[in-house]
Amino acid sequence: MLRILALPLGFVLDLILGDPSWIRHPVCWIGDLISALEKRLRKIFPDTPGGLLTAGIVMVFMVCAVCYFLPFAILYILYKFVPVAAFLLETFWCYQLLAARSLKQESMKVYDRLVNGTLDEARYAVSMIVGRDTESLSDTGVTKAAVETVAENASDGVIAPMLFMAIGGAPLMFLYKGINTMDSMVGYKNDKYLYFGRCAAKLDDVANFIPARLSGWLMVAASGLTGFNWKNAARIYRRDRRNHASPNSAQTEAAMAGALGVQLAGNAFYFGKLYEKPTIGDPDRTVEYEDIPRANRILYGTAVLGMAVFTVLGFLIRLA
């Protein structure tokens, strides 16, 4: 029962301290594992659609096994012999794997460059947190990209890890981050990853299906608690939550667009190619720089609400 306290304690540490710079982030280690496996498996399996698909499946199984069973084994041994050390470690891991403060900090760097710097500096700052091409974005485009990133990562950087932590502790949280990291590294529909990354991308869709929808409704509720238009957030969420090729990405973007009363998404360039995408929300007003700190206010409200809900869920699961 004590283990569930690792979630609220880790969350508070994240809000206060942000990512610890003195130790390498676990996602970096996961990324190293994915890169090493990709390089090795591409040499083993033939460079054909079937071979690349098989290699990608093997990589997914190996990464998932390491991400779950390694922290599970460490915690199992520590909880058996040194319970206090195990609890502290699980709290620390929870703190590392939540990204509310870092998401706010990185998006506010974009805001700072828009207000106090140059457009090129703002484009560079936003390129650090988005996957699209940013070289030709206007100041409005940069602002929209930052707001969209805050909205989307509220789910996979905060709410989804909390949910998995509440259900299965740090090992399940690590498993989720492994799946999410694979998708961010190889889950592209381009020539290089169309087949190799397909299994990773589909697994990420499955892993995020419930968390994304929970995140959307939590964001609707949080928008009301933080002084925004929750009724419009609920309306746009119900209407536009499917306006994306991914089954999950538009969930929180729709809630955010409705809460702020702006229009997000639309066409974007990726790797030099234009992708036509539907818009999300209504253009009740033009997106402005201040929407970035507003989005972060909604992010923090969503995170606090999620922490409270999932802490209770964790206790109920362990009581059952």
pLDDT digits (tens, 9 = 90+) for 13-56: 999 998 888 889 999 999 999 999 999 999 999 999 999 999 99
Residue 18 confidence (pLDDT):
87
Q: Is 279 helix (H, G, I), strand (E, B) or coil?
A: strand
- The pTM (predicted TM-score) of the whole model is 0.93
Residue 268's DSSP bridge partners are 275
* Amino acid identity at 127: S
In the predicted structure, residue 306 carries a pLDDT above the cut 90: yes
Q: What is the pLDDT of residue 123?
A: 93
CA gap 7, 10 in Å, rounded: 5
Q: Provide DSSP, 198-218.
A: HHHHHHHHHHHHHHHHHHHHH
How confident is the prediction for the chain on average, in pLDDT? 93
